[in-house]
Structure 1
Amino acid sequence: MTIKACIKKYANELKNITHIPNKEVEILILHLLQKNVIWLHLNSHLEFEYEKELEKLVKKRATDYPLEYLTKKASFYGEIFEVATNVLIPRPETELLVDKAIEILEEIKSPKVLEIGVGSGIISVMLAKLIEDISIIAVDINDDALELAKTNAIKHGVEDKIEFIKSDLYANISNEIDFHMTISNPPYIANNCKLPKNVEFEPKNALFGGKVGDELLKMIIEQTYSRKIKYLLCEMGYDQKKPLEEFFKTFNIEEYSFYKDYSDFDRGFVIKFKKEK
């Protein structure tokens, strides 16, 4: 069977799972062949020798198993990152968090940044690639995440700009370090929230933030403030703007703002704390 025929055949099995079944089958074929899209379009008439392997991947994808876990790859900010099954899959919305950070960091000489919950490393790696004189400490409680983030830092040639530390929030971070910014995409979903089927395959400790959902976010705000760090940037849940805005009133804040994601949902915030005298 030709590559073109395989795409047509197996796309039919994914039509109820994704709105781009043909494209996803192409991605799986490229994964098996280790080729690029241009090669595929030039050679779709060739016989495909890995149909059995493709069939297995398609059947697994048909259960709503994430495509990124099948290919062990994800795109973020125009770059390709390694993905592992015990680590959260990168989301396009997190690119907005990186954008917000860059706007601030470009105005700071030799900025020092702490990332809480590094996951696959997408935030720290992109900041390290885009801000020339930056230094970053990236923490996580998940050993698999730390190893994956290191792998991605090496892949993108920025391992000299990022120090990876196992830590629960600030627990293992020295008070002697003067950070300019803390950035985080922490777990913020309420524990009793029913997840979409495809998300159920991802690690729960990277998704659930407590009974209400914003508990971890509030801890990050409190601890960042107590460390006298000027800027805090975080992702949050679409329904958490009002309670967080109320929570902000308990701190000495110079200014804050919320931003929306690509679907026009509230998705994150930027805080600039007042400098304590």
Structure 2
Amino acid sequence: MTIKDCVKKFSSELKLVTHIPAKEVEILIMYLLDKNSIWLHLNYNNEFEKVKELEKLVKQRATNYPLEYIIGKASFYGEQFIVEQGVLIPRPETELLVDNCLEILKDLEKPVKILEIGVGSGIISVMLALLVENIKIIAVDINPNALELAQKNAKKHNVLDKIEFRLSNLYENVLEDDICMTISNPPYIANDYKLPQNVEFEPKNALFGGIVGDELLKNIVKNTADRKIPYLLCEMGYDQKASLESFFKTFSIEKYSFYKDYESFDRGFTIKFKKEKDV
């Protein structure tokens, strides 16, 4: 059976779990052969020797098991990151959080020290370390598996020297007083929300943020204000803007803003707290 025949045959089995079934079969073939898309299309009419292996992976994917966990990687901000089960899969909308962070950092006096709460696979900290020359990052998580994976990604991208990984529940093990910014993509889904089937395979403690969903976000806002850290940037749920905006008014904030994701849903916010002398 040729590669072309395999794509045609197995894509029909993935029509119910993805809007790009043929593309996903190609990705699985490239994974099995350790080849890129250029090679694939130059050899589209060649015989494929790993049909049984491909069939096994397609059946696994057909259960809604995430493609990223099968191939062990995901793309973020144009870079490839290692992905492992037990750690949240990177989402494209989190690139917007990085964009907003970079916009602020470009105007801050260097060097800068920032904190990431809930580092997960490390995509945010690693990208900031790659894109900002004079930066130090403290990256914390409550999940030891996440910290281990984030370290692997930092090593892969040669930025281990810029990031200190630390086991911590929010600010619990963060004592530094020279942090200029906190950035976080924390759990923000309400506990009773019914997850899509594909998301069911991801760690629940990286998804659910409380009964309402924004409890952890509000905790981060309060702790950041208490620590007198000037900037806070967070991702949030699409339906949490009103609740968070009302909560912001209980703090000494110079300015804040919300941003939307690629689907035009409210997806995150930026806060600049007032300096002590301005309060």
For residue 275 of structure 2, what is the amino acid of its counterpart? K
- Report the counterpart of residue 142 of structure 1 in structure 2: 143
For residue 220 of structure 1, what is the amino acid of its counterpart? I
Q: Distance in 1 between matches of 2:51 and 2:17?
A: 20
Q: Distance in 2 between matches of 1:52 and 1:166?
A: 42
1:52-92 Cα distance to aligned partner (Å, 9 max, x none): 11111100111111100100110000000000100000000
Alignment: residue pair count:
276
- Report the counterpart of residue 162 of structure 2 in structure 1: 161
- Report the counterpart of residue 71 of structure 1 in structure 2: 71
Q: Distance in 1 between matches of 2:17 and 2:140?
A: 34
Q: TM-score, normalised by structure 2?
A: 0.98
Q: Distance in 1 between matches of 2:105 and 2:127?
A: 13
- Report the counterpart of residue 33 of structure 2 in structure 1: 33
Residue aligned with 1:209, SS: strand
Q: Distance in 1 between matches of 2:17 and 2:185?
A: 27
Tell whether 2:276 aligns with 1:272.
no
- Report the counterpart of residue 103 of structure 2 in structure 1: 103
- Report the counterpart of residue 22 of structure 1 in structure 2: 22
For residue 57 of structure 1, what is the amino acid of its counterpart? L
- Report the counterpart of residue 42 of structure 1 in structure 2: 42
- Per-residue deviation at 1:6? 0.5
- Per-residue deviation at 1:107? 1.2
- Report the counterpart of residue 86 of structure 2 in structure 1: 86
For residue 142 of structure 1, what is the amino acid of its counterpart? N
- Report the counterpart of residue 152 of structure 2 in structure 1: 151
Residue aligned with 1:119, SS: coil
Mapping 1:1-277, distance limit 5 Å: 1-108=1-108, 109-174=110-175, 176-277=176-277
Residue aligned with 2:69, SS: helix
Deviates more, 1:251-260 or 1:40-49: 40-49
User: What 5-or-longer segments of structure 2 have no aligned partner?
Assistant: none
Residue aligned with 2:153, SS: helix
- Per-residue deviation at 1:15? 1.1
1:169-192 Cα distance to aligned partner (Å, 9 max, x none): 000111x33111000000000000
Q: Distance in 1 between matches of 2:165 and 2:17?
A: 37
Q: Distance in 1 between matches of 2:265 and 2:254?
A: 25
Q: Distance in 2 between matches of 1:46 and 1:158?
A: 40
For residue 90 of structure 2, what is the amino acid of its counterpart? P
Residue aligned with 2:276, SS: coil
- Per-residue deviation at 1:217? 0.3
| Matched-pair contact (CA < 8 Å) for 2:259–2:268 | yes
1:207-264 Cα distance to aligned partner (Å, 9 max, x none): 0000110000000000000000000000000000000000001100000000000000
- Per-residue deviation at 1:203? 0.2
- Per-residue deviation at 1:45? 1.5
Deviates more, 1:102-111 or 1:24-33: 102-111
Runs of 4+ in 1 over 4 A off after TM superposition: none
Residue aligned with 1:228, SS: coil
| Matched-pair contact (CA < 8 Å) for 2:177–2:227 | no
1:195-216 Cα distance to aligned partner (Å, 9 max, x none): 0010011000000000110000
Q: Distance in 1 between matches of 2:261 and 2:135?
A: 26
- Per-residue deviation at 1:49? 1.1
